[in-house]
Amino acid sequence: MAPVPVPVKVRLLAICLGRSEMLKTARLRGRQMAWQRLSRRDGRKPQGGLHEGIPPHLTDPIVSWIADLFPNGRYEGVANANMLRHVATMNEIAIRPGAEDYGVLQAVLDSCVRDQDLCLDVVDCLLHFRGTLGGAGVEELSLRLTVGRSVWDTAADGYSLVRRTDPTASEQLKTAVSPNDVASEELAHAWEKVFGRHPDSSDAWDHAIKAVEAVLIPIVCPKKDKATLGSVAGQLKSAPHSWKLALDNPDGIGGVQTLEAMLRLMWPNPDRHQDGTPRRKPTQHEAEAVIHTAVTIVQWARSGVLVKR
């Protein structure tokens, strides 16, 4: 692979902002590192896949990221000490009674070194409370996970760890959750519940439905009390000619009918049936498909693809 030339502006930016900011800029330009190990470029080693857990080469980068959230000095003590103790308790890390703050920090770090799953849980917990910690280091953590080829990455909203997905799908989600509204919040929750550390396919499905409801109910049935996604689908089915979808198909398959069919696939959550149909928890694959469908529909609604005639 030929080296990727670095534009003069990027080099100047690196000098001005420092190495850390340069790496962040590189990540935003594609989230992929152009460099590959020589042994892989010339075929002596196979292309490696993504790593589960915290492999040895990622232990120090991730544990040091945790430590950086709790700066400590000889006289100043440990910053965010109360949160540190809460994190230890929530992750069931045993602390010696009467331990000083620095001893608590060392116990958390040592536990993370010994236990890969615990380390990921601690990182996920710290992201959840990152507002309390000042929101520091999310981009840096994502960079370390990326260059270390971890299967985990930070969520689009920065408040959890999620499994790394197709880059196109990830970028589509980031665009979908960029507005500050209910739909974005519900999509972020749905994505976390299906790709996060503790997946819950049924809860993910519920949040996906709420995201689509948040954008379609104001358009299709704004005056209906307690409207649901089922209400939206029913309205589109009963009066398809009252609506126009920018994707109307000339072969006779109307775009509105297609949208209605997509909504029927989402509604209701099979774990929430109320019509006597046996309830069942959706599979992981089903939940993933519903989340991707929800992201697409939310984007459609926001861009004015569906309009009233």
pLDDT in the model for residue 91: 97
| Closest CA relative to residue 232, chosen from 258, 204, 260 | 260
Residue 309's Cα: distance from chain center in Å? 36
Cα Rg for the chain, rounded, in angstroms?
24
Two tokens, residue 231 = 């209400």
pLDDT in the model for residue 157: 87
Contact 122, 108 (CB under 8 A): yes
**SS3 of residue 289 by DSSP:** helix
Half-sphere exposure of 52 (CA within 13 A, CB side): 2
The CATH topology of domain 182-308 is: Four Helix Bundle (Hemerythrin (Met), subunit A) (1.20.120)
Q: Within 10 A of 253 (CB to CB), how many other CB atoms are there? A: 10
pLDDT in the model for residue 275: 67
pLDDT in the model for residue 37: 73
Contact 3, 41 (CB under 8 A): no
Distance of alpha carbon 227 from alpha carbon 49, whole angstroms: 45
pLDDT in the model for residue 78: 87
Q: Within 10 A of 46 (CB to CB), how many other CB atoms are there? A: 8
In terms of phi and psi (left: phi > 0; alpha: psi -120 to 50; beta: otherwise), the region of 266 is alpha
Half-sphere exposure of 259 (CA within 13 A, CB side): 30
pLDDT in the model for residue 7: 47
The one-digit pLDDT tens for each residue of the chain (309 residues) are 444 444 444 444 444 444 455 445 445 444 445 567 788 677 777 766 789 999 999 999 999 999 999 988 666 778 889 999 999 999 999 999 999 999 999 999 999 999 999 999 999 999 999 876 755 589 899 989 988 989 999 998 889 999 998 888 888 998 999 999 999 999 999 999 999 998 999 999 999 999 999 999 999 999 999 999 999 999 999 998 889 888 766 654 578 999 999 999 999 999 986 667 788 999 999 999 999 999 999 999 999 999 888
Distance of alpha carbon 193 from alpha carbon 172, whole angstroms: 17
Two tokens, residue 79 = 């910053």
Q: Within 10 A of 43 (CB to CB), how many other CB atoms are there? A: 8
Residue 267: in which H helix or E strand, if any? none
